[in-house]
Homo-oligomer: A and B are copies of this chain.
Amino acid sequence: MTNQKKTYHHGDLISSLIKAASEILQEEGVEGLSMRKLADKVGVSRTAPYHHFKDKNELLCAIAAAGFKAQEARLQTLLSSHEESEKRFHQYVYQYIEFADTQREVYDLMYGRLIWKTGTPTSALKDASKQTFKRWLDWVEQLQEDKVLPDNNSALRVGQASWASLHGLSRLLIDGIYLDRNDIQAMTEQMIQTLIRTQPASN
């Protein structure tokens, strides 16, 4: 108990838990996030969280789902700007990488094996991720019409492939394989060149 008004009944543990968990996550990474430490931080006994989240897995899913909501909101904000289409795409790529960079641990939960492979994604999480991806695909379709992204294939394929590329870049950054900021920046720029339909000086 790291000090807290002891009232037996906490009030709203659920949101307190998510908040505290997010903090630990940001500061110490997912390795530093244990249910016991979390409970202690909130000022509650070890097993109290288990009455609000069936599992540690479920807690993580909740955080990840919130991450998808945040990511989607960011996209919507960008889409409501009156920028040129290609420039917006440019901005999106940087925004995507920046999100992954600043919210590393959340990003890892959203797209990492811990939940999707080792654990079991909540149906709420699945829905959130699907919706975010759908919003992306809708935009890809438009980007194809605007001749920004290639239209040699369906929006789904182009959307999948280009997203996979962004994801790969994000992972290299997140997982500590590329730590050099300059490299990431230059790699991002190069990737944009590759993704965008208009190739510079072909032939």
Contacts and interface: CB of A to CB of B under 8 A. Distances in A.
A160 B177 CA distance: 12
Given A29-B118, A160-B183, A202-B197, A171 B167 contact: yes
Interface string A173-203: 0111110000100110011011101111110
Given A168-B167, A171-B168, A158 B190 contact: yes
Copies of the chain in the assembly: 2
Interface stretch (A15-23, A67-75, A83-91, A105-113): A105-113
A165 interface: yes
A157 interface: yes
Contacts of A190: 153, 157-158, 160-161
A113 B176 contact: yes
Given A190-B153, A193-B150, A195-B194, A169 B175 contact: no
Contacts of A116: 175-177
B152 A201 contact: yes
Interface in A100-144: 108, 111-113, 116-118
A31 interface: yes
Contact of A169 (B164, B198, B201): B164
Given A160-B186, A165-B194, A198-B202, 8 more contacts: A111-B177, A117-B175, A117-B176, A150-B199, A158-B190, A164-B165, A168-B169, A194-B195
25 contacts: A111-B171, A111-B175, A113-B175, A116-B176, A116-B177, A117-B174, A117-B175, A150-B194, A153-B190, A157-B187, A161-B190, A161-B191, A161-B194, A162-B194, A164-B169, A164-B172, A164-B191, A165-B168, A165-B191, A165-B194, A167-B171, A167-B172, A194-B194, A197-B202, A198-B202
